[in-house]
Chain A
Amino acid sequence: MKQHKKALVLWLLLLVVLLIGALIAPSPQLPEESIQETMRDAVLHETGQIDLFGLDVVNPGLISAFTVTAMLLAAAAVIRIFVIPRFRYQPGRLQMLLEELVGMFDRMAKSSSPEMNRFLGAYIFAAGAYIFVGTLFELFGLQAVTTAGRSITLPAPLSDINGAIALGCLSYLIILSGGIANNGLRGVGRTLKEFSLPISMSFRLFGALLSGLLVTELVYYYIQLSFVLPVIVGVLFTLLHALIQSYVLTMLTALFYGEVSEHTPPKEKAKKRKGKPAETPQQAS
């Protein structure tokens, strides 16, 4: 027991010394960035840009997007090669998880658009996976070096406004394609009625994820806030964001897709019916 107590006291002392050392140790002689600049750069990426293989200078969000895609595709390939061939009629845990993920988006697509849902299901599955993993990606803390020589943590891909606009507009185009495929020009009309949809979708994503990023930046800017608090604002908020944003975008896309692709009889038939005597329920049955 005494040995345990000694070890505990030593460990606490070590912690205190390390904490004091961290607080009083001189920081590197890089030009310091004010909180205003940090926040502004997190939104606009005016200075914190990254060189894309020497081709162009891009926002860190795009690098995150490529990394997330590579990670997801690698994981999917591993699952395809090693897990899916071993699927059984009585599923194990991993198989149940995969089936539940695919089944959830499949059911969402089917319930929204009963007639034509295969493409929609595939799209919302990819979008959901991308938003969820992309949002959790900022927790991994992967580092990249900006063109200014500063090290930054790669943010969530959708906290970059270009990424959010891309996904929002793509979702709108998918909805439009559903309208055209099922209802032709009428479907286009129905989709165009919701002209604010791409903007609202894009900025909802951007705002939600950027707010998480800004809160995290704010917390990490001050070293005094960097203990315990990040567990709540970093992990819990990010997890909540990941779940909520994937659900919101996929559900909205599925809902609007189902609405514009809903098949309705042409108006001519309705006009013809008006001329005929009304059909009684007994006749109809």
Chain B
Amino acid sequence: MNIPLNIDWQQILLHLFNFAILAGGLYLLLYKPVRQFMEKREAHYREMEEAAAQRKAEAEQLKADYEAKLQQAEVEIRERQEEARKAIQASTQQQLEEARQQAEEILTSARAAAERSREKAIEASKQELQDLAISVAEKLVLSSDGDTFDQFLDLAERKGGNEQS
């Protein structure tokens, strides 16, 4: 049977056979190796990109950590400063209080001592005056010859001269 346009099944099959060889050969010799190389390079650059992204993420994490630590350290420093300030204030207050107490105690004891010595002096003066009065009275009584008033004055003068010497 003659097919129009001189179509020949045998030659069609031969063309197919020829193209199958060509397709297989080109796939093995050219397409596959070039594509593999391109995939390999793509994987290489993807790995590089991933590694860079990972490093960047790590660096950012590190930076965030450091910033957080820095902030924490600043807060701690501020707290410590506050604590120290409070402690110094408390200590100063306490020392002032103690000093005031000590001063009051000293003042109180000094006042008491002064009071005691005053009382003692007054007591001694009283006693002395008493003794003097008694002795004068005794002498007056014993030597009632002469003017009493003159005797008293003489006696006082002598007493004063004795005390001066």
Chain A residues close to B by CB (< 8 Å): 43-46, 56, 58-59, 62, 65-66, 68-69, 72-73, 76-77, 79-80, 84, 87, 89, 98-99, 102-103, 105-106, 121-123, 125-127, 129-130, 157, 160-163, 165-167, 169-170
Contacts and interface: CB of A to CB of B under 8 A. Distances in A.
B38 A103 contact: yes
A46 B6 CA distance: 8
Contacts of A43: 5
Given A121-B35, A123-B23, 8 more contacts: A103-B38, A105-B31, A125-B26, A125-B31, A161-B6, A161-B7, A162-B15, A165-B15
Interface in B1-34: 5-8, 10-16, 18-19, 21-23, 25-27, 29-34
What secondary structure prevails in chain B residues at the interface with A? helix
A67 B57 CA distance: 58
B33 A170 contact: no
B43 to A, nearest CB: 11
Contacts, number: 116
B30 A167 contact: no
Interface of B: 5-8, 10-16, 18-19, 21-23, 25-27, 29-35, 37-38, 41, 44-45
Nearest to A87: B37
Contacts of A162: 7-8, 11-12, 14-15
A46 B5 CA distance: 10
Nearest to B8: A162
A234 to B, nearest CB: 25
B5 A161 contact: yes
Given A162-B7, A165-B12, A69 B21 contact: yes
Q: Which 8 A-B pairs have the closest CB atoms?
A: A166-B15, A126-B23, A76-B29, A162-B11, A102-B34, A80-B29, A69-B22, A122-B27
Contacts of B16: 166, 170
A204 to B, nearest CB: 15
A45 B38 contact: no
B85 to A, nearest CB: 56
8 contacts: A43-B5, A58-B14, A65-B14, A65-B15, A73-B26, A84-B34, A161-B5, A166-B16
A58 B7 CA distance: 11
Contacts of A123: 23
B6 A167 contact: no
